[in-house]
Amino acid sequence: MSRRVVVTGMGMVTPLGLNVEDSWSGIKAGKSGVGPITLFDTTDYLVKIAAELKGFDAAQYMPAKEVRRRDRYQHLVVAAGKQAVESSGIEVTDANRHRIGTIIGSSVGGVGAYWEQAQILIETKDPRRISPFGIPMLMVNGGSDLISIEYGTTGTSATPISACATGADCIGMAFDLIRAGRLDAAFAGCGDAPIIPIGIAAFDRVGACSRENDDPEHAIRPFDKTRPGLVFSEGAGVLVIEELEFAKARGATILAELVGFASTSDAYHVTAPQPEGIGASNAIQYALDDAHLNPTDVHYINAHGTGTSLNDAMETRAVKRVFGDYAYKVPMSSTKSMTGHGMGATAALEAAFAVLAIRDNVAPPTINLNVPDPECDLDYVPNVAREMPISCVMSNSFGFGGHNVSLIFKSFSG
């Protein structure tokens, strides 16, 4: 029999707040984190809005010298990771460090540092001007390594990458390693800081971005008939997950139990989802099978819900394929309507929101949902959070390239 796995700590930095409770308060209040881009000059750009962090100071989590030597996404991972470890109360010791892992990813890694260093080389044509810390800055595994070094964990350290599903895959991989007995605990999650000129320009050229610059707070509208596309964001989320007996032995506070995980591939297209949601529905079904649950056992679904035409319609079809008539009865909402789309990091944030939905018995809203779409006809909790009994939540994440991940959390008992 596989070992039970529980969540004992969480940390996050988001456009709605620089910790778990502030971010969650913004979610419950239906607050938008979208505004004008300030991280670079958007004069010549068609997209001028994003969901940036407000007031974030990496020096609160890292020495000033180290801040200068690291990419912004690594700053965010360290902040979320330290919050998660502190909230869990876990202590890494000589006796347990080899049984604790760091499974922390990033969908794009140090693209900000790469962009800056490339500009220096292009402008000066002098390779000696490149920073000697350029490689550590851009390493996609840098975030996981920093957390491992910070706490001295010597168990598995890994950095899965699966586009916008990365954070969920990291949590799922950690879950599997603990269930299989290879680890007793793990720090799992993801961070991304993609709001840079090349990131905005490239995603806009794919046709994925909202250009509604004059009304940032309403520029992302998941499942709405008038949805214009996604809005970039940045952030990080990290969970501390542990084998149940390991957590109980140290008197940990258990926030929820992680009971199901599945990861599939569309094998269809490098950017577009499989239209009928076959790969996504497989992930949903396999996660239910993994958890030994029926669709009717799920009380709320945190949707991927990007606000793009193709993704929202596909996700609706995928849920219907698995949930049948019950699809019309289970609330499903997109917290990206408030946080924006932080690439792989958002998948980790949404896993944390799933746990918080169980804790507070609140289904978060999908804000800006005002015009019904015949293709998207489920209960998306429009505009206002809903208080209701919630003891089982599914969190879905679907990424470019056809990556599909479903996680299932339950309230802890026993």
397 lies in a domain?
Answer: yes
Residues 104 and 206 in one domain: yes
Do strands 235-243 and 185-192 pair parallel, antiparallel, or not at all (unpaired)?
antiparallel
Residues near 252 by beta carbon (within 8 Å), at least 6 away in sequence: 6, 8, 88, 89, 90, 242
183 lies in a domain?
Answer: yes
255 lies in a domain?
Answer: no
Distance separating alpha carbons of residues 30 and 26, to the nearest angstrom = 6
CATH number of the domain enclosing 54: 3.40.47.10
254 lies in a domain?
Answer: no
Catalytic residues: 164, 304, 341
For the chain, what is the domain count?
2
Distance separating alpha carbons of residues 360 and 369, to the nearest angstrom = 23
> For residue 10, which of 254, 213, 261 has the smallest C-alpha distance?
254
Q: Taking a C-beta distance cutoff of 8 angstroms, is the pair 366, 334 a contact? A: yes
3-state class (DSSP) for residue 213: coil
Residue 1: per-residue pLDDT: 61
- DSSP-assigned beta bridge partners for residue 5: 243, 258
Measured CA distances, 175 to 3, 8, 162, 186, 358 (Å): 10, 13, 17, 8, 19
Residues 243 and 279 in one domain: no
Residues 222 and 324 in one domain: no
| Boundary (domain end) residue, out of 249, 280, 299 | 249
- DSSP-assigned beta bridge partners for residue 192: 235
User: What is the pTM for the complete model shown?
Assistant: 0.97
Residues 223 and 308 in one domain: no
Residues 234 and 269 in one domain: no
Residues 399 and 282 in one domain: yes
Q: Taking a C-beta distance cutoff of 8 angstroms, is the pair 338, 31 a contact? A: yes
Nearest-10 crossing angle of helices 197-206, 111-124: 110
Residues 189 and 314 in one domain: no
What are 246-273's pLDDT values in tens digits?
Answer: 999 999 999 999 999 999 999 999 888 8
Residues 227 and 319 in one domain: no
| Boundary (domain end) residue, out of 249, 272, 291 | 249
| Boundary (domain end) residue, out of 188, 214, 249 | 249
Residues 119 and 232 in one domain: yes
381 lies in a domain?
Answer: yes
Residues 130 and 277 in one domain: no
Q: Taking a C-beta distance cutoff of 8 angstroms, is the pair 344, 192 a contact? A: yes
Per-residue pLDDT of the chain (414 residues; tens, 9 = 90+): 679 999 999 999 999 999 999 999 999 999 999 999 999 999 999 999 999 999 999 999 999 999 999 999 999 999 999 999 999 999 999 999 999 999 999 999 999 988 999 899 999 999 999 888 888 888 999 999 999 999 999 999 999 999 999 999 999 999 999 999 999 999 999 999 999 999 999 989 988 899 999 999 999 999 999 999 999 999 999 999 999 999 999 999 999 999 999 999 999 998 888 989 999 999 999 999 999 999 999 999 999 999 999 999 999 999 999 999 999 999 999 999 999 999 999 999 999 999 999 999 999 999 999 999 999 999 999 999 999 999 999 999 999 899 999 999 999 997
170 lies in a domain?
Answer: yes
| Tally of CA atoms within 13 A in the half-sphere of 307 that contains its CB | 30
Residues 185 and 302 in one domain: no
Residues near 345 by beta carbon (within 8 Å), at least 6 away in sequence: 76, 106, 107, 166, 167, 189, 190, 191, 192, 234, 235, 236, 237
Residues near 129 by beta carbon (within 8 Å), at least 6 away in sequence: 120, 121
3-state class (DSSP) for residue 111: helix
For residue 101, the enclosing domain spans 5-249
Residues 231 and 265 in one domain: no
